[in-house]
Amino acid sequence: MNSKLKNEMIYSIVVIVILLVVAIINVNYIDGHMANIAQPENNSTVPANSTIIKVTGYQWAWSFTYTNGTTSTDVLYAQAGHAYTLQVTSKDVIHDLLIPNLGVQVYAVPGHPNQVTFEPTKPGTYIFECVEYCGQDHYLMRGYLEVS
Ligand SMILES: [Cu+2]
């Protein structure tokens, strides 16, 4: 075996090892964050200790309906140390609710509710926004999660 071929084999093996290490790191990361990725409503159950909040996205705002029947628009109210299950749908086109500080993201699809459960741990004000381009005023689909 000449030295050129030997070098090429070594380079190839080094690249394969690097790609394998990156793949393993990625799979471990995704595995550890599956709880925050929304599941279709029909395929998952609501955890017994969580409060359901109905969420509707529409051009161009977010509407929240709480268990006592009250509603809010573009402000979501929650309490620290309590679990909430967001059941999310849309009135018109596909939207996508992202609460970056809590790692929550869920699609709002007309006729296909999705849900995600999360538990805010610290009181504060956290931004949320629509991250699926949904029309000319898409940029207005943002608001605040108020955790008391
Ligand atoms: Cu939107």
Q: Which residue, 126, 62, 52, 136, is CA-closest to 95?
A: 62
pLDDT, position 69: 93
Q: Identify residues whose C-beta is under 5 A from ligand 1, the ion.
A: 95, 130, 134, 141
Q: What is the pLDDT averaged over residues 24-48? A: 70
* Per-residue pLDDT at 62 exceeds 60: yes
CATH code that applies to domain 37-147 = 2.60.40.420
Torsion of CA 39, 43, 48, 53, to 10 degrees: 50
* Per-residue pLDDT at 63 exceeds 90: yes
Q: What is the pLDDT averaged over residues 44-52? A: 81
What spacing in Å lies between the alpha carbon of 108 and ligand 1's midpoint? 8
Name the pLDDT band for 48 (thresholds 50, 70, 90). Answer: confident
What are the sequence ranges of the domains in the chain?
3-32, 37-147
What spacing in Å lies between the alpha carbon of 18 and ligand 1's midpoint? 39
What spacing in Å lies between the alpha carbon of 137 and ligand 1's midpoint? 8
Name the pLDDT band for 49 (thresholds 50, 70, 90). Answer: confident
